[in-house]
């Protein structure tokens, strides 16, 4: 039922992915946003405040905040406090480098707040090859601060060819902090386009990863891997692409897209400086197209009800078409193997 | 026809839960998980019902959806609410 109801269009997103800045103190080779320097025309504090108020009025439930590195914005804690005060739940993705003891203490006191800290390897050798020299040690220091202050957090790992052999070790690191491990899918957008050939997991690794997930119910995947997961696991999360149906993405300069992985001109719904967020959500032609998207080639697939064609963004970045099957779904992987 | 809401139970949102009205009915979100729950209740229930001030029977009696043809729908709504209560999304009070 949820899939059909969502296809008809909700009155507001369930959650919004908000890239609050493109500024970043790292240059990760797989960054989906190609973060580094600030984007031209990033939203001001006043604009961000209005946006938060708009989302709260629309009863958006959750705002997933990334970037760039969110904590690099001088006004970020004020914006978080404002979101929480208006009833929004926030989930912040951070590289952890700016989290010292004082910030960890502040974050530990937030009730409507989740934190994901990125770690892309269980050793400095693997993590630092992706995220930059010295980052492994600095992230572990941040995790120590968070754990000592009693903050709830998860460790987020983008699955790559390099860190696949370390999944068990990463799970143990998370356990040692009483944190969850969240594994995200490598998406070939941003700098990921250029690093896909070297970093994207192999067919064998993806298939083995699907089996590994079955054995580890506590490992979370968000909705990243619904194209790979079983019926049992599917019931624990979103079983379809939620872009423009349940979620959308706001860029640092106020552009609205169906999802963070489709920040291309062809998918631009509009900008909140010239349209209200609500009008873009309700009336954008590209959002209407995404809601009606049917991957017809998959309709006869025995797993259709489990993945509905998979991730349109991966299809787009592979074939330049969103209506084609996800090349990394379980069936296509087995065919390729 | 008796009111299908039964027994005078009031419901309110559990800590960490939110609800909003949609065209199909009610959409619940709970911070635990987080999780989403769709209740196809149409216009039978509003968000304010979950402030815990009225019983389901009160709501049913004063509503516009109290006709005989609505009985089955009310029964489905009642079951959905009980299911949400068992999952900890809403609380009986």
Could you tell me which of A102, A118, A115 has the C-alpha nearest to residue A151? A115
The CA radius of gyration of chain A, in Å to the nearest whole number, is 19
Is A5 within 8 Å of chain B by CB?
Answer: yes
Tell me the ipTM for this assembly: 0.87
Task: Give B 12-51 residues with CB within 8 A of chain A.
Answer: 18, 20-24, 27, 29, 31, 34, 36, 38, 40
Could you tell me which of A82, A58, A74 has the C-alpha nearest to residue A279? A58
Is A1 within 8 Å of chain B by CB?
Answer: yes
Distances (CA, A) of A6 to A9, A54, A287: 5, 21, 12
Best to test chain A binding among B26, B30, B36 (most A CBs inside 10 Å)? B36
Whether residues B36 and A2 touch (CB distance < 8 A) is answered with yes
Q: How far is B38 from chain A (nearest CA, A)?
A: 6
Whether residues A87 and B18 touch (CB distance < 8 A) is answered with yes
Per-residue pLDDT of chain A (337 residues; tens, 9 = 90+): 566 776 777 999 999 999 999 999 999 999 988 899 999 999 999 999 999 999 999 999 999 999 999 999 999 999 999 999 999 999 999 999 999 999 999 999 999 999 999 999 999 999 999 999 999 999 999 999 999 999 999 999 999 999 999 999 999 999 999 999 999 999 888 898 889 989 999 999 999 998 999 899 889 886 667 777 766 665 555 567 889 999 999 999 999 999 998 999 999 999 999 999 999 999 999 999 999 998 898 889 888 877 888 889 989 988 999 999 988 888 887 776 5
Size of interface A-B (CB pairs under 8 A): 34
Per the CB < 8 A criterion, the answer to whether A256 and A268 are in contact is yes
- The Cα–Cα gap between A317 and A305 comes to 23
Q: What is the pTM of this model?
A: 0.92
Task: Give A 38-77 residues with CB within 8 A of chain B.
Answer: 59, 61-62
Per the CB < 8 A criterion, the answer to whether A3 and A241 are in contact is no
- The Cα–Cα gap between B68 and B8 comes to 20
Decide: residue B88, CB within 10 A, 0-12 exposed, 13-18 middle, 19+ buried.
middle
Strand A15-19 versus strand A62-66 pairing type = parallel
Q: How far is B67 from chain A (nearest CA, A)?
A: 26
Give the number of C-alpha atoms closer than 13 A to the C-alpha of residue A13, restricted to the C-beta side: 27
**How far is CA B91 from its chain centroid?**
11
pLDDT of residue A159: 95
| CA geometry: angle A157, A162, A167, nearest 5 deg | 50
Chain A residues within an 8 Å CB radius of B36? 2, 14, 238, 246
Whether residues A11 and B23 touch (CB distance < 8 A) is answered with yes
């Amino acid at each position: 039922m949820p899939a059909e109801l969502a296809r008809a269009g909700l009155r507001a997103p369930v959650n919004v992915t908000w890239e609050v800045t493109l500024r970043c103190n790292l240059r990760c080779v797989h960054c989906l946003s190609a973060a580094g320097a600030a984007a031209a025309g990033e939203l001001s504090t006043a604009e961000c405040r209005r946006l938060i108020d708009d989302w709260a009025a629309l009863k958006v439930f959750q705002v997933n905040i990334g970037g760039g590195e969110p904590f690099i914005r001088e006004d970020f804690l004020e914006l978080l406090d404002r979101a929480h005060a208006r009833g929004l739940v926030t989930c912040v993705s951070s590289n952890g480098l700016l989290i010292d003891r004082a910030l960890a203490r502040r974050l530990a006191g937030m009730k409507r707040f989740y934190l994901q800290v990125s770690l892309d390897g269980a050793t400095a050798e693997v993590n630092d090859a992706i995220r930059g020299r010295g980052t492994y040690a600095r992230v572990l220091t941040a995790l120590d601060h968070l754990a000592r202050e009693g903050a709830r957090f998860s460790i987020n790992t983008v699955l790559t060819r390099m860190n696949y052999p370390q999944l068990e070790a990463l799970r143990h690191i998370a356990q040692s902090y009483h944190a969850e491990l969240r594994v995200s899918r490598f998406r070939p957008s941003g700098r990921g386009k250029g690093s896909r050939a070297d970093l994207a997991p192999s067919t064998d690794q993806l298939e083995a990863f699907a089996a590994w997930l079955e054995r580890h119910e506590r490992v979370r995947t968000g909705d990243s891997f619904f194209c790979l997961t079983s019926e049992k696991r599917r019931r624990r999360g979103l079983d379809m692409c939620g872009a423009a149906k349940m979620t959308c993405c706001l860029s640092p300069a106020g552009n609205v897209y169906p999802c963070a992985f489709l920040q291309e001109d062809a998918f631009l719904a509009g900008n909140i400086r010239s349209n209200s967020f609500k009008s873009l959500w309700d009336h954008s032609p590209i959002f209407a197209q995404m809601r009606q998207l049917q991957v017809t080639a998959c309709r006869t697939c025995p797993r259709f009800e489990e993945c509905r064609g998979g991730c349109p963004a991966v299809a787009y970045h592979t074939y330049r078409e969103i209506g084609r099957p996800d090349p990394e779904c379980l069936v296509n992987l087995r065919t390729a193997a | 026809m008796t009111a299908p809401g039964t027994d005078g139970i009031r419901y309110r949102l559990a800590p960490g839960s939110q609800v909003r009205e949609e065209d199909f009915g009610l959409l619940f979100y709970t911070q635990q998980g987080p999780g989403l729950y769709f209740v196809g209740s149409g216009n039978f229930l509003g968000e304010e019902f979950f402030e815990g001030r009225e019983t389901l029977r009160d709501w049913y009696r004063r509503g516009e959806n109290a006709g005989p043809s609505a009985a089955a729908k009310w029964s489905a709504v009642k079951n959905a609410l009980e299911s949400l209560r068992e999952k900890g999304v809403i609380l009986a009070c």
